[in-house]
């Protein structure tokens, strides 16, 4: 018995070593098999090999908002409009459009030379069928449906959108790259098919073709250049402009272990890692032949949710008190260890976006000393009805950004004298817990999450900006004035007036504390420095415009 007990730690350690060896061997076998792939030999060039976060499980972008499915869709499909790197709306499959003076009719004309990879031309019928199915599941698409009077194919290259009342964000919705973009699929595949029923045919009109016969779930996804795709004449920018494919073959390689990913990149066995773990970033930065940088300059917004249904945070003074406990510089340092990878920002609609403003966020971004901030925060909490009751903070320990920021928040509140109950759990448990309203045994007061790099820029489509009470996102903010302003913004067709409405939304959101930004966090990617042409794109990874130097 004693022998078995003494051997257990050794066996566990040996087991972990063997698992690591098998994992590395599996990856080496995978790369060796990929090198032997026929497509690699066809043009004499090595395929572009990338490691993305997660696993492709569905190729239907209307069925799921999963990031890998969206990345796949940008490879094989195209969109009517696109956002460039400056977040400006540009034509993509659309050649042009005309908006009627009353803002109720939009007539779009498709550009020439659009065809699917099976040779069939792209027509207005494909657009109408794709739009109809997409609007069943995408939040913005469903919102458009409430304004829609009709969607008509006028002829093969022209379609018309008729509205019951102005919808100032129509073209933005058609250009957005986040959540579920409107990708144009063949009508023969999607017409009449409910969005909750997956399709499995990857035929599209985008810059790449998926080699479905080479797709090995959990191992490798293969794409080749679409020879029939005609890029737009403008330079590539964001997800807009000319999508020139400069490699013959792209392979998404499944390498779950971060250390193995890094080793493969350093050895030149792969070309790109979407999100290396932060602990490996310094080593990769020091590696000759490897470049590390963020591919979107504003980063993702950290967002703190406050439970409006759980006292004392049913009182706006108590909610505003929390601003004093949020030290964004300390949170960024704790999470990233490198201040250059973060940005202090009080904008609900994210700094660096067209709507970004810190109006009303003075308490949050105050440069007062810690002593002053914590004392003021405690005084405001008491003024808001706090009597020393337990404040429950949910802490997702398996999410590095949220966990690190939560630890800083907890320390500040405890130092101020707040009775804080930090409840550590994994993200899956937090997702379950956050649905609990009001006081009770499983109640909560605060948790931290992320708002994405682009979603928060839009005050209506960003789910966390809702003040719709029971219909709002977790925390259930409830404010009729915020909802009135958001409704006015989405109907406003004058961009100057819309910008002023965005300022009003920022101020109102900060006053009522719809949520609290806790900084912006860059997500670095890593790639071989012989790659040229990587684009700055939010919410996705695009692999056109990339070539190897030398």
290 forms beta bridges with: 528
Q: What is the pLDDT of residue 19?
A: 47
CB 225 within 8 A of CB 208: yes
What lies within 8 Å, CB to CB, of 181 at 6+ separation is: 61, 70, 73, 74, 79
427 belongs to a structural domain: yes
My answer on whether 434 and 306 are in the same domain is yes
Residues 10, 3: Cα–Cα separation, whole Å: 11
Do the bridges between strand 249-253 and strand 48-51 make them parallel or antiparallel, or are there none, so unpaired? parallel
| H-helix segments, 392-479 | 400-416, 427-433
Do the bridges between strand 547-548 and strand 342-343 make them parallel or antiparallel, or are there none, so unpaired? unpaired
71 belongs to a structural domain: no
Peptide bond into 312 cis (omega under 30): yes
**The model scores a pTM over 0.75:** yes
- Which of 190, 218, 249 is a domain's end point? 190
Number of folded domains that form the chain: 2
68 belongs to a structural domain: no
| DSSP-assigned states of every residue in 59-71 | --TTT---HHHHH
- Which of 190, 209, 240 is a domain's end point? 190
Residues 199, 384: Cα–Cα separation, whole Å: 53
Residues 308, 480: Cα–Cα separation, whole Å: 14
CB 65 within 8 A of CB 179: yes
CATH of the domain at 108: 3.90.76.10
Q: Write out the chain's pLDDT in tens, 550 residues.
A: 333 333 344 344 444 444 444 444 444 444 444 454 443 333 437 899 999 988 999 999 999 999 999 999 999 999 999 999 999 999 999 999 999 999 999 999 999 999 999 999 999 999 999 999 999 999 999 999 999 999 999 999 999 999 999 999 999 999 999 889 999 999 999 999 999 999 999 999 999 999 999 999 989 999 999 999 999 999 999 999 999 999 999 999 999 999 999 999 999 999 999 999 988 999 999 999 999 999 988 899 999 999 999 999 999 999 999 999 999 999 999 998 888 889 999 999 999 998 999 999 999 999 999 999 999 999 999 999 999 999 999 999 999 899 999 999 999 999 999 999 999 999 999 999 999 998 988 999 999 999 888 888 999 989 999 999 999 999 999 999 999 999 999 999 999 999 999 999 999 999 999 999 999 999 899 999 999 999 999 888 999 999 998 6
Residues 312, 418: Cα–Cα separation, whole Å: 12
Q: What is the pLDDT of residue 550?
A: 64
238 belongs to a structural domain: no
151 belongs to a structural domain: yes
CATH of the domain at 435: 3.10.105.10
241 belongs to a structural domain: no
213 belongs to a structural domain: no
My answer on whether 178 and 309 are in the same domain is no
My answer on whether 364 and 508 are in the same domain is yes
Residues 425, 427: Cα–Cα separation, whole Å: 7
* Count of C-beta atoms within a 10 Å radius of residue 165: 11
Where on the phi/psi map is residue 513: left (φ > 0), alpha (ψ -120 to 50), or beta?
left
My answer on whether 340 and 467 are in the same domain is yes
170 belongs to a structural domain: yes
Q: Cα dist. 295→180, 246, 455, 533 in Å?
A: 20, 19, 16, 11
Residues 184, 116: Cα–Cα separation, whole Å: 10
My answer on whether 429 and 306 are in the same domain is yes
Give the orientation angle of helix 495-512 with respect to helix 480-491, to 10 degrees: 160
My answer on whether 352 and 473 are in the same domain is yes
Query: Domain range spanning residue 462?
Result: 300-521
Backbone angles phi, psi at 349, to 5 degrees: -95, 30
- Which of 150, 166, 190 is a domain's end point? 190
As separate numbers, helices (DSSP H) first and strands (DSSP E) second, the chain gives 16, 21
């Amino acid at each position: 018995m004693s022998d078995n007990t003494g051997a257990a730690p050794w066996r566990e350690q040996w087991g972990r070593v063997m698992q690591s060896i098998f994992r590395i061997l599996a990856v080496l076998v995978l790369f060796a098999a990929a090198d032997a792939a026929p497509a690699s030999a066809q043009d004499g060039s090595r395929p572009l090999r990338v490691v993305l976060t997660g696993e492709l499980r569905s190729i239907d972008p209307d069925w799921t908002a999963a990031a890998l499915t969206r990345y796949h869709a940008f490879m094989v499909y195209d969109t009517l409009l696109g956002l460039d790197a400056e977040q400006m709306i540009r034509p993509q499959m659309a050649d042009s459009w005309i908006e009627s003076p009353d803002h109720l009719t939009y007539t779009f004309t498709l550009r020439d030379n659009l065809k699917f990879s099976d040779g069939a031309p792209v027509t207005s019928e494909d657009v109408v069928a794709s739009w109809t199915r997409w609007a069943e599941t995408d939040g913005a698409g469903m919102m458009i449906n409430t304004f829609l009077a009709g969607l008509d194919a006028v002829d093969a290259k022209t379609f018309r959108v008729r509205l019951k009342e102005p919808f100032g964000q129509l073209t933005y919705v058609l250009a957005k790259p986040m959540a579920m973009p409107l990708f144009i699929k063949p009508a023969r595949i999607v017409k009449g098919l409910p969005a909750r029923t997956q399709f499995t045919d990857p035929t599209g009109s985008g810059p790449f073709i998926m080699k479905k016969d080479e797709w090995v779930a959990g191992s490798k996804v293969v794409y080749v250049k679409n020879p029939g795709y005609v890029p737009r004449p403008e330079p590539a920018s964001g997800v807009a402009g000319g999508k020139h494919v400069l490699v013959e073959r792209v392979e998404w390689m499944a390498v779950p272990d971060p250390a193995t990913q890094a080793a493969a990149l350093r050895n030149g066995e792969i070309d790109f890692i979407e999100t290396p773990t932060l602990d490996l970033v310094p080593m990769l930065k020091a590696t000759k032949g490897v470049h590390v940088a963020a591919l979107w300059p504003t980063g993702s917004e950290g967002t703190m949710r406050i439970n409006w249904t759980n006292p004392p945070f049913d009182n706006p003074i108590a909610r505003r008190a929390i601003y004093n406990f949020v030290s964004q510089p300390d949170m960024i340092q704790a999470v990233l260890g490198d201040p250059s990878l973060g940005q202090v920002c009080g904008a609900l609609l994210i700094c660096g976006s067209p709507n970004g403003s810190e109006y009303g966020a003075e308490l949050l971004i105050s440069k007062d000393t810690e002593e002053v901030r914590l004392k003021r925060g405690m005084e405001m909490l008491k003024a808001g009805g706090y009597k020393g009751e337990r404040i429950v903070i949910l802490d997702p320990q398996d999410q590095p950004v949220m966990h690190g920021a939560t630890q800083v928040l907890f320390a500040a509140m405890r130092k101020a004298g707040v009775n804080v109950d930090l409840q550590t759990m994994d993200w899956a448990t937090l997702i379950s817990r956050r649905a609990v309203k009001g006081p009770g045994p499983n109640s909560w007061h605060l948790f931290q999450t992320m708002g994405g790099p682009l979603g928060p820029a839009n005050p209506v489509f960003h789910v966390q900006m809702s003040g719709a009470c029971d219909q709002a996102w977790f925390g259930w903010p409830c404010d009729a004035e915020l909802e009135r302003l958001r409704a006015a913004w989405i109907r406003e067709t004058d961009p100057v007036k819309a910008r002023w409405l965005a300022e009003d939304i920022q101020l109102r959101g900060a006053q009522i504390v719809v949520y609290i930004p806790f900084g912006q966090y860059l997500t670095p990617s890593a790639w071989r420095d012989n790659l040229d042409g990587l684009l700055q794109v939010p919410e996705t990874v695009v692999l056109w415009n990339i070539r190897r130097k030398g």
